[in-house]
């Protein structure tokens, strides 16, 4: 998938908190809050920052090429929000450095000057902060945000998500500790001016897709003619790339759907908008000796939409 870079600000009325439930949208990725509670501080003092600011990142991998349209999360206040509740959130996606060991990022205080994120969304409000209950002695709140522009996630790619709260005086908002994944998160501490892994749990959030999911099915004709990659489930609007690779002695001819040719390129790119069943057609290319020093090449080609046998002879020297 081509690298995407999105920087979006959203006014309050565009936020719909908890109006689109998980039952109305498919879950792309979810790490549930841990039963014992706990918070990972991820907040800053708006607008000038402070030495107490913390930025928390956690990794995720989706199982299919997904169009993420919503983000839900749980959080709370380590000091009871004595300096005031969150007034705004940012939801930011990052890719990984080579090898995937940590997010690809720079100083978060400068990231809007030299962006390293893939997509950053300004919520413009407190994301519909709704009291959930008390867990482990801490008051917990639920939040939800509908992305104004979907984030396209590629299956098997390691991304990192940061949900950051903005507060007016002291930054004590944190995202809930999640059920065990790798048991750690990545953090930038303004006061320490350093990045570090913290082995104190993962962060809890859910990514959803309110759009339909389509299945792209492929086959080869003949079966021995070649192999195909790219089939699977895709969210509506997600890019699809199918690649047909001929077996030795075969050549790729075309892609067909319901018997109708849709492409003659071995790499077929399109946007997922419906279930599709596509056939990659291959034809044998077999050299054979005919007489003394004469090679004969035979196979099939498409002329005017019909299969036509062909033969070409050449004298070997």
Whether residues 264 and 177 share a domain: the answer is: no
What is the rounded end-to-end Cα distance, in angstroms, of the chain?
48
| Model pLDDT, residue 9 | 45
Least confident residue range of 138-152, 222-236, 298-312: 298-312
> Does the structure show a pLDDT above 90 at 262?
yes
pLDDT tens per residue across span 221-256: 999 999 999 999 998 888 999 999 999 999 999 999
125 and 13 Cβ atoms separated by less than 8 Å: no
Domain boundary among 152, 181, 209: 209
| Model pLDDT, residue 22 | 42
Whether residues 147 and 49 share a domain: the answer is: yes
> Does the structure show a pLDDT above 70 at 290?
no
Whether residues 260 and 315 share a domain: the answer is: no
What residue numbers bound the domain in which 139 lies? Answer: 6-209
> Does the structure show a pLDDT above 80 at 303?
no
What is the mean pLDDT of the segment spanning 159-169?
Answer: 97
| Sheet with 294-303, edge to edge strand ranges | 286-289, 294-303, 306-315
287 and 248 Cβ atoms separated by less than 8 Å: no
Confidence label for 49 from pLDDT (cuts 50, 70 and 90) = very high
What is the mean pLDDT of the segment spanning 264-269?
Answer: 98
pLDDT tens per residue across span 111-131: 989 899 999 999 999 999 999
Whether residues 47 and 141 share a domain: the answer is: yes
Whether residues 113 and 18 share a domain: the answer is: yes
| Residue closest to 262 by CA, chosen among 212, 211, 218, 309 | 218
DSSP 180: P
Domain boundary among 178, 209, 240: 209
| Model pLDDT, residue 14 | 32
Whether residues 153 and 234 share a domain: the answer is: no
Domain contains 270:
yes
Count of domains observed in the chain: 3
Is pTM, for the whole model, over 0.85?
no
DSSP 13: G
Whether residues 124 and 253 share a domain: the answer is: no
Whether residues 196 and 169 share a domain: the answer is: yes
| Model pLDDT, residue 199 | 92
Residue with token string 């003659």: 264
Residue with token string 């959203």: 10
Which tokens sit at 279? Answer: 């056939």
| Model pLDDT, residue 135 | 97
Least confident residue range of 18-27, 30-39, 186-195, 270-279: 18-27
């Amino acid at each position: 998938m081509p690298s995407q870079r999105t920087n979006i600000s959203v006014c309050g009325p565009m936020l719909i908190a908890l109006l689109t439930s998980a039952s109305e949208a498919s879950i792309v990725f979810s790490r549930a809050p841990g039963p014992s509670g706990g918070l990972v501080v991820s907040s800053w003092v708006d607008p000038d920052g402070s030495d107490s600011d913390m930025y928390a990142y956690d990794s995720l991998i989706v199982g299919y090429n997904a169009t993420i349209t919503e983000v839900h999360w749980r959080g709370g206040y380590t000091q009871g929000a004595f300096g005031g509740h969150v007034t705004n959130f940012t939801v930011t996606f990052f890719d990984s450095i080579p090898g995937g060991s940590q997010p690809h990022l720079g100083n978060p205080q400068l990231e809007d000057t030299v962006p390293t994120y893939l997509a950053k969304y300004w919520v413009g409000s407190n994301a519909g902060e709704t009291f959930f209950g008390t867990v482990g002695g801490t008051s917990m709140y639920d939040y939800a945000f509908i992305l104004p522009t979907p984030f396209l996630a590629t299956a098997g790619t390691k991304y990192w998500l940061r949900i950051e709260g903005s507060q007016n005086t002291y930054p004590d908002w944190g995202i809930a500790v999640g059920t065990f994944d790798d048991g750690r998160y990545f953090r930038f501490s303004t006061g320490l001016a350093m990045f570090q892994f913290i082995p104190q749990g993962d962060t809890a959030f859910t990514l959803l897709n309110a759009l339909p999911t389509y299945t792209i099915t492929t086959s080869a004709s003949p079966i021995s003619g070649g192999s195909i990659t790219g089939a699977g489930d895709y969210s509506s609007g997600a890019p699809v790339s199918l690649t047909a690779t001929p077996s030795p002695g075969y050549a790729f001819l075309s892609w067909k759907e319901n018997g109708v040719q849709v492409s003659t390129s071995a790499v077929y790119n399109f946007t997922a908008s419906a279930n599709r069943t596509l056939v990659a057609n291959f034809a044998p290319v077999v050299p054979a000796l005919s007489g003394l020093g004469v090679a004969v090449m035979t196979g099939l080609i498409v002329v005017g939409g019909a299969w036509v046998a062909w033969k070409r002879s050449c004298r070997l020297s």
